[in-house]
Each structure stands twice: as structure tokens, then as C-alpha cells.
Amino acid sequence: MRDISGIAVASRDPVSLVIGATAAQVIGGLVPQMSPFVVVGLIDGLSLSERDAGFVASAELLSLAATAILIAPFLSHLSYKWASLFAIVITLAAQGASIFAGGWGSLVVLRGLAGIGEGALYAMSLCIVASHSRNPEKVFGCFQLVWAIGSVALFSVGGEVTAAFAHRGIFTLLAAISLIFAPLLLLVPNVRAVKDDKTRVAASEPWLGMLLFGAIVLYVAVSAGLFAFSGPLGERVGFDTSSVGYILTASTLIGLAGAGAATALNIRWGRATPITAFCAGYILVVLVLCLWHDRVAYSAAVIASAVLYYFSLPYLFGLAAALDPTGRWAAAAGSANLLGFAAGPIFAGVVIVASGYASLAAVSSAMIAAAWLLAMYIVGHGFNRRSLPERLPNSVG
């Protein structure tokens, strides 16, 4: 067993495992991160309505999320390396064809196909860490660091290429980034999830995994809803769209602190303490954003929301990894994250239209509280400090 950069993993080549898993995570999660530019590009380039452009984007996101959850039970029977290479071929083929597609119907099919490959890679990135890392919270924290750092450049470049070349520009950027990261998938271990008697804990208590799935959907839906309406919330306190953009950029940079803290702390204080901290913190953020009409308070809350979000995901995914050493629930947790991300704007919009921002504060706080109760119930079943059982993969290639 070796320990490199503080990440102890049950592999003879842990650095390659972390790099390969990170590459799969980036390729698989790229489109949800860049979806605002995809929608704008489709509207400008193909003169689609907001509804039709949103349908194209939703088709890919739903395909991605559905694939991630449907493939989860079978990942322990697959070779990670060959499955990831098969998935990247599908992804690149669909992304490349999308650049030259000129019709709405063909784009729906192609983006749905791309979502299948991306969903498989996204699920595998989480499953690899859950089944072969000794400190999954650390590696999941590294994922968030990569997203926080990379998003600054991605948002800047994405905006420029979309403004210049509409949908062809953003699809070319997505294909180019996927192609750049594709060779790193060769570092994914050529192993399956190792099964032993300790995996029966998860098999005998699948309801714990389902409870965690629900907790992640609730938590992320609130976060995504607030993010989607950060513009209107900013306008309520007197900011224009440009100012909101600067605040969001700053929040992404400062959000690195959250990912860094999760990576450094790991489960040194157990899981109950950090989960309680970020849930309580997010309820405070919700109340400030929805009820307090002050520019400084708004700015601080937006920045705090980014820090808490990047801090929280490693613990939620890490708890999923502890539930099942084969990584199946970690892959399902990734799908829950995507579903929450997709449902958040819809949920927030419906509540705001129906009864305003005060109701959004109440409903969102209740959802966070429910997510905390579910997570604490799971942690109370012996998962506050439990880590993965020690095991070695069959082979690494």
C-alpha cells in the first residue's frame, strides 16, 4: 500500500488511478457545466426558441443522468479501462457530428447519444474512486478542485467561442476538451470492482443507498435552483447582470477553499460534523439570499454558497462510497447530483411564480433540513468514520 499526495489507494499505481478517474469525471461532467452556453449557442446559431433549445440541452442531461444510474449496478462486472474507452468513442463521435448537424431533430438524437457516453464516464469516475481509493473524500475533493479551477477558464473561453461561432463554437470546444482528456483514460485501471464479504453490508441494506440518493437530490436541487436564479436575486438588491457575473466569477475562485478544505480534512472529524456544518450553512445562505435585500449580504451569500457546494459534494459522494465498496452507490450518487442539478431551476421557478421568494426560502430550508436528516440517519448506521475495506485490484494495466 502506498500513499502519494495524501491519497492512499489500493492500487500499485495510485497517481495514474486518480488522473484517469479525474479525466473520466471531466469528460462526463463537461456538458452540465457548460449547458448555459449550449442553450445560447443553439438559440443564436439555429434560431431556435428557448423551449426548443432547452429541449436539446435537456435531452443530453437526461440521457447522461439516466445512463449514470442504469449502468451503476453493472459497473462491478466491467473492466473500467475498456468500458471507458468504449464510452469515449461514443462521446467523441456524437460530439463531432453535432458540430455539422443543421437540424433540431438530428441534434436531439446526437446530443442524447453523447449523453450516453458521458453518463457512463461520469458514473465510472465515481465508481473507480469508491472501489479502489482508501480516502474517497480526498479524491472527490480533488475532483471539485479541478472543476473550480477549470471553470474559470471554461466560462471565459466558452463565452467567446459561443459569441463568435454560436452552437458550432461551443460544440467544437466540448469535443476538443474531450479529445484532449481522452488519452488520460488509458491510465484508468484495467480492473473490475473487487468483491468480498464486506460488500454484503451494502447488499443487505440497499435502502440506505436510496435514502442517500434522495438526500443528494434534495440538497443539489436547492443549490442549483439558487444558482439558476442568482441573476434575478441580484437584481432585487440593485445589481445589474454584469455585476452578478463578476460576483459569480469571484465565487468560483473563492469556492476553491471549500474543495481544498474537504480534501485536507477528509473524515478526520468524521462525517456527521462536516455534513451538519454545510447543511446549516446552506440554510443560512438561503435565508440571506431570499429575505435580505442588501448588496453586501447578497455578495457574501453567493460566495458562501459556492464554498459550501464545493465542500459538500466530496462528503456526500464519500458517504456513498462507504455504503458500497464496489462503487455502485457512488455511481448512483453521481446520477442523483445530475438529477438535482436538472430539477433545481424548475423547482425554484415554480415556487417563485406561485408564492414568491419568501416561500422559496421556506421550502428550500425544509429541503436542506430533510437532506440533513436522511444523511444523519445513514451516518448513524456506523458510517461516521467507516472507510473502505483494504483490498488489492486483480491487475492494473
pLDDT at 389: 42
pLDDT at 256: 83
Pick the CATH number of 197-379 from 3.40.190.10, 1.20.1250.20, 3.40.50.1220, 3.40.50.800: 1.20.1250.20
Q: Do 2-187 and 197-379 agree at the fold level?
A: yes
The rounded percent of the chain whose pLDDT value lies above 90 is 36
What φ, ψ does residue 9 adopt, rounded to 5°?
-130, 150
Categorize the per-residue pLDDT at 17 as very low, low, confident or very high, splitting at 50, 70 and 90: confident
Task: Give residue-wise pLDDT tens across range 338-349.
Answer: 888 878 877 888
pLDDT exceeds cutoff 70 at 183:
yes
Where are the strands (E) in the chain, listed by range?
2-4, 7-9
Task: Give residue-wise pLDDT tens across range 130-158.
Answer: 888 777 878 888 888 888 888 878 877 88
The rounded percent of the chain whose pLDDT value lies above 70 is 89
Roughly how many angstroms between the first and final C-alpha of the chain, as a whole number? 17
8 A C-beta contact, residue 137 and residue 54:
no
pLDDT exceeds cutoff 90 at 274:
yes
pLDDT exceeds cutoff 80 at 30:
yes
Cα-based distances in Å from 12 to 2, 9, 188, 266, 295: 8, 8, 12, 22, 52
Task: Give residue-wise pLDDT tens across range 200-224.
Answer: 444 446 788 899 999 999 999 999 8
Residue 318 to residue 262: CA distance in whole angstroms: 11
Give domain limits for the chain.
2-187, 197-379
pLDDT exceeds cutoff 70 at 101:
yes
Stated pTM of the model: 0.76
pLDDT at 374: 95
pLDDT exceeds cutoff 60 at 238:
yes
Categorize the per-residue pLDDT at 277 as very low, low, confident or very high, splitting at 50, 70 and 90: very high
pLDDT exceeds cutoff 50 at 27:
yes
If one counts every other C-beta atom within 10 angstroms of the C-beta of residue 20, the result is: 24
pLDDT exceeds cutoff 70 at 172:
yes
Superfamily of domain 2-187: MFS general substrate transporter like domains (1.20.1250.20)
User: Highest-confidence range of 91-95, 231-235, 267-271, by mean pLDDT?
Assistant: 91-95
Residue 171 to residue 83: CA distance in whole angstroms: 24
C-alpha closest to that of 65 among 330, 341, 348: 341
Q: Provide the residue type at 344 as one letter.
A: G
pLDDT exceeds cutoff 90 at 117:
yes
Give me the chain's average pLDDT, please.
83
